[in-house]
Amino acid sequence: MISRDTTGSFKLMKSMNRALILNTIRTHGPISRADIAKKTKLTPPTVTNISGELLKSGLINEGETGVSKGGRRPILLTINWNSQFVIGIDIGVRKVRLILTNLKAEIVSKRVEKLPVPLTADDLTGIMTAAVKKLIDAAEVDPGKLLGIGVGMHGIVDAEKGVSLYAPTLNLKDIPLKDVLEQAFRIPVKVENDAKTLALGERWYGGHGPDTDNLVCVNVGEGIGAGIIFNNRIYHGNDHIAGEIGHMVVDIDGPRCSCGNYGCLQTVAGGRALKEYVLREAALGRETSILEAAGGNPDEADGKIIYECALKGDGLALEAFAKTGRYLGLGLLNLIHLVNPPLVVIGGGVAKAGDLILKPVQNLVKQRGITEKAKRTDIAISRLGEEGTAFGAVTLVLADFFALEAKTEKR
C-alpha cells in the first residue's frame, strides 16, 4: 500500500513536472516533445505523458510540424493562450483598476471604479467584488475558465494570508481581501503590496530583458513604495514592510505624514507633495496658471494639470517637478546604496510626467552616487503605463501557474 506521504510527494513531483513542461512551452514554444525533454532533463515518456494531459485539458495545442532531424517531422506544442483567463486588481487610494487577461497577459476587458471618501473596509470589499462581477460579465468569459485573481494593494500586506494589514492613507486595517474574493468567486486569489506587484509585472512584462534577476521598482503615486526583486524573488522582509521607502525619514523636522511620523519621503516627493507644494506657493502669491487650469478650484489641481502647465512653461509647475523629483532622487539614492540594483524602474501615476520627474532623479543620483558605478545605475520610467500594477497582479497568478520564475516567497 502506498502511504499518504508517498502519494503526496508523487503528486507534488507530478505537478512540478507539469509546471516545468508548461513553462518550457511558454518560454520556448512552438517546441517539440523531444526538445522539451532535452531542456527539462525529464524522460521522453514523462514529457509525452504530461503533454498528453495538457492537450486533453486544452491548455496547450498541437500545431505545425518542425524540422526533421532524420525520421518523422516532429509536431510542435504551443500554449493555448485563450484557454484560461486571469483577473488583476490594483487597489489605489482613490480608485480600483481591474483588468481581465488571457494567459499571455493580453487585456480582454478592463474597468475602473472610483472610491468614495471616507471609506470603510466593507465599502472597499463590496466595491471590489461588484466590480469583478461586472468585469467578468463584460468580458463574456466562461467563469469556469478563470484561473485566479491577483490583487495589488497599497500599504502593508501579508501576502501569505492575503490580508491588507494597514493602509495608512485610507486609515484602514486588517482587510481580508483574499478570503472575501475566494468566497465570492471560488477561485484562487493572491494578494500582494502594490509596489511589489508592480515590480513583478516589470520583471515579466516590462521589457527589461530576461536576465534581470535583480531590480527595484518604485511606485510613485500619492504615496511612494518600492518593490525589490532579489535573485528573482520578491523581497518581503520579516514583517512585510520591506520597500516602504515612502516612510523613509528624510527630514527629522519635516511635515507630518499620514503614518503619524514627521519628514517621511512621501511628504516631500510624490503626487501629494507635488500638489501641496504648488498650492502652498500659490497661496503665498506666486504667479501661476495652475489654479486657472484647475477651474479656480485648488482641489482639482492634480498631477495631470500641474504636468500640463509645466509643459506650457509655467514656472511654478516646473519648479514643483524639479523639487519633488530631487527629493525622489534622494530616496532612490538611499535605496541604491542599500540594495545596489542594476536597474530602478519608476512607475505609478507620477511616472506619467516622464522626463520632468526622471531627469531630476537621474541628476541627483549622478551627483551623489558613492561610486562611479552607483552614479551610473540605470533608472528608467516604466513602460507598462497606468495598468502596470494590474499587470503585476495578473502576474501573481501566472507566476504561480507557470511556477518557476519570480515566485513570491517570504524572504
Q: Using CB under 5 A as the criterion, which residues of the chain lie in contact with Zn ion when the complex forms?
A: 247, 257, 259, 261, 264
Phi, psi of 96 (to 5 degrees): -110, 125
Spatial separation of the C-alpha atoms in residues 378 and 390, rounded to whole Å: 24
Q: What is the DSSP string of 46-98?
A: HHHHHHHHHHHHTSEEEEEE---SSSSPPEEEEE-TTSSEEEEEEE-SSEEEE
- The residue among 259 and 282 lying less far from Zn ion, judged by its C-beta, is 259
Spatial separation of the C-alpha atoms in residues 74 and 353, rounded to whole Å: 50
Q: Which element (helix H / strand E) includes 234?
A: strand 233-234
All residues at 6 or more sequence positions from 173 whose CB lies less than 8 Å from its CB, including other chains? 121, 164, 165, 166, 167
Min dist CB 222 to Zn ion, Å, is 12
Spatial separation of the C-alpha atoms in residues 382 and 227, rounded to whole Å: 13
Cis peptide upstream of residue 118 (ω within 30 degrees of 0): yes
- The residue among 250 and 403 lying less far from Zn ion, judged by its C-beta, is 250
- The residue among 259 and 374 lying less far from Zn ion, judged by its C-beta, is 259
- The residue among 9 and 261 lying less far from Zn ion, judged by its C-beta, is 261
- The residue among 71 and 260 lying less far from Zn ion, judged by its C-beta, is 260
Min dist CB 408 to Zn ion, Å, is 25
Residue 234: name the closest of 211, 208, 212, 214 by CA: 214
Min dist CB 271 to Zn ion, Å, is 15
Orientation of helix 315-339 relative to helix 303-311, angle to 10°: 110
- The residue among 150 and 223 lying less far from Zn ion, judged by its C-beta, is 223
Min dist CB 322 to Zn ion, Å, is 23
Spatial separation of the C-alpha atoms in residues 404 and 81, rounded to whole Å: 18
Min dist CB 251 to Zn ion, Å, is 12
- The residue among 257 and 398 lying less far from Zn ion, judged by its C-beta, is 257
Cell numbers for 107: 487585456
Burial (CB count within 10 angstroms: exposed 0-12, middle 13-18, buried 19+), residue 110: middle
Min dist CB 181 to Zn ion, Å, is 28
Q: Which element (helix H / strand E) includes 150?
A: strand 146-153
Spatial separation of the C-alpha atoms in residues 99 and 209, rounded to whole Å: 24
For residue 307, give the amino acid letter. Y
Min dist CB 270 to Zn ion, Å, is 11
Q: How far apart are the first and last CA of the chain?
A: 39
Spatial separation of the C-alpha atoms in residues 55 and 255, rounded to whole Å: 60
Min dist CB 221 to Zn ion, Å, is 14
In eight-state DSSP terms, residue 282 is: H
Min dist CB 93 to Zn ion, Å, is 14
Residue ranges of the alpha helices (H) in 140-270?
A: 177-185, 194-205
Min dist CB 263 to Zn ion, Å, is 9
- The residue among 107 and 241 lying less far from Zn ion, judged by its C-beta, is 241
- The residue among 77 and 165 lying less far from Zn ion, judged by its C-beta, is 165
- The residue among 257 and 345 lying less far from Zn ion, judged by its C-beta, is 257
